[in-house]
Amino acid sequence: MNIFRLTGDLSHLAAIIILLLKIWKSRSCAGISGKSQILFAIVFTTRYLDLLSTFISLYNSCMKVIYIGCAYATVYMIYMKFRATYDGNHDSFRVEFLVVPVGGLAVLINHDFSFMEILWTFSIYLESVAILPQLFMISKTGEAETITTHYLFCLGLYRALYIFNWVWRFYFEGFFDLIAIVAGVVQTILYCDFFYLYVTKVLKGKKLSLPA
Amino acid sequence: GIDSQLKDEL
């Protein structure tokens, strides 16, 4: 555990809670991609199956349970509780174009050809692109609520901090994982355009809206 | 098999 890892996890937790609170307080999931949230629920489920087989630490187990629980709660709020406010027409990203290639890649490129390891690899690859339906939705509608941009910023910050964490682990533990690093860098790059808009617009008190 | 050592991460 190092400072980048811990702040990365906390940033990730903040993102998840910001999104849940936004939906709960406004009684609406307008502007939120249900497809991205389903993908994140799949990511957590396939990665944290080791909750049942391996104990790492209390911190590790608790965070995993919280992440999975929040992911399913978010999906429930979007597709069940506040379904009437879900903007399905604008959430039109074709997720099969992500899930199928990512599944194929996980079978082809992994550390070990075993069920658990392939699912872990699948979750790493899927997480790197799971935000695309959300970014696609924003580019389609041309705007995002400020609270949604805070959610995206925390999520992107978590990825960036994890990269620093891996640099740290490489220097101090002599360990690196190419699969996670490549997927993590891809994921962080996807946020760069958004980071730019966040700093130049949202932090200056303006709403995030894209030029028509 | 050779598993990833990153299993302690989230």
Q: What is the least distance, in Å, from the CA of B7 to any CA of chain A?
A: 8
Q: What is the least distance, in Å, from the CA of B5 to any CA of chain A?
A: 8
pLDDT digits (tens, 9 = 90+) for A114-153: 999 999 999 999 999 999 999 999 999 999 999 999 999 9
Of B2, B4, B10, the CB nearest to A120: B4
pLDDT digits (tens, 9 = 90+) for A82-124: 999 999 999 999 999 999 999 999 999 999 999 999 999 999 9
Q: In the structure encoding, which two tokens stand for residue A201, read together?
A: 């617009």
Q: Are A206 and A144 in contact (CB under 8 A)?
A: no
Which pLDDT does position B5 carry in this prediction? 73
pLDDT digits (tens, 9 = 90+) for A26-63: 999 999 999 999 999 999 999 999 999 999 999 999 99
Which pLDDT does position A211 carry in this prediction? 76
Q: Could you give the 3-state DSSP secondary structure of residue A209? A: strand
Which pLDDT does position B6 carry in this prediction? 82
pLDDT greater than 70 at residue B1: no
Residues of A in contact with B7 (CB under 8 A): 50, 54, 56, 120
Q: How far is Cα A23 from Cα A84, in angstroms, rounded to an integer?
A: 12
Task: Measure Cα distances from A176 to A55, A158, A164, B5 in Å.
Answer: 22, 18, 12, 9
What's the mean pLDDT in A71-80? 98
Domains of chain A: which residue ranges? Answer: 3-201
Q: Do the Cβ atoms of B10 and A113 come within 8 Å?
A: no
